[in-house]
Amino acid sequence: MKFLDEAKVHVKAGDGGDGVIAFRREKFIEYGGPDGGNGGKGGDVIIEAVDGLNTLIDYRYAQHFKSRKGGNGAGQDRSGAGSDDVIMKVPVGTQILAEDKETLLADLTEVGQRIVIAKGGDGGYGNATFKSATNRSPRRADPGWPGQERAIWLRLKLIADSGLLGLPNAGKSTFLAAVSAARPKVADYPFTTLHPQLGVVRLNPDGTPSRDGSLEFVLADIPGLIEGAHEGAGLGTRFLGHVERCAVLLHLVDGTAADPAAAYRTIREELAGYGGGLADKPEVVALNKSDAMTPQATASRLKALSKAAGKPALLVSGATGAGVKQVLYALYQQILADRTR
């Protein structure tokens, strides 16, 4: 399934049904009077967050959603039928924006949460409604009110507990595959990951990964950033929104790079340029690919990275699993603190 995190759709709620002009006509009833019924309400357009979806691909090929018009009234004081609502199902974490792409209309962060994005029109009054002591036989009926119509943007921000950051080829996909059942594409060239990937990490109480562990959290891997990403370089910062909701960020730095400290600072500058509070989020820093470094290079680069980060950096290898337990335990402690806040 193709990943799509943004889509523009047009919604149109149903118009209300028309009221009617009718009079009672029965034998031996000389003055039956007006009995035209009211029109029915048009259907609403509702957006609902549901479980089991993680992309907006459904709205790539269907972009117009319209509810049906309410039924017209009838004689004998019969009101028109109300039309059924149209329900658009979206993944949890979807934001609904106005056409200007800036005004936030709703943020659906829980399963079952819904919003009426376009309200159906009310039905028009039939002539029976206008009957009064001074107007015994009104010949007036109103048409139904039009339903709301608007263009909106759907923007998905994945719900994950932790997010993976780093330059291209930092080993993020390898790490995700090592700690979860996710199977992202892994290759030895930059920008292997073109769309965000999610994996569920399960741990034993001692912090070791396990398929049936009692502790779990969701880890999101996003495409690598490069210098100038906040200005549109590379893939830009388009996918950074998917880690805005994370409790903690895991910053992986390629240990085989000539200057890991510079690589770390590059990503931090892009986070600051993007905004959204990402630069202030709790962060676990890890020097990856320890299996490909000599002991002397490991010591010097780990020291330089720790100095640049202002905190002790962890040593890990996604390929061999060395140090993975310590990284996952550090992530889970931050996530647990956020959940109990």
Residues flagged as binding site for GTP: 166-173, 191-195, 221-224, 288-291, 317-319
Write the CB contacts of 52 (distance below 8 Å, at least 6 apart in sequence). Answer: none
Let me know the angle formed at the C-alpha of 271 by 267 and 274, rounded to the nearest 5 degrees: 135
Write the CB contacts of 275 (distance below 8 Å, at least 6 apart in sequence). Answer: none
Write the CB contacts of 123 (distance below 8 Å, at least 6 apart in sequence). Answer: 16, 17, 18, 19, 38, 39, 40, 41, 42, 70, 73, 79, 80, 82, 144, 145
How many alpha carbons fall within 13 Å on the CB side of residue 298?
13
Question: How is residue 130 annotated by DSSP?
Answer: G
Residues of the binding site: 166-173, 191-195, 221-224, 288-291, 317-319
Residues of the binding site for Mg(2+): 173, 193
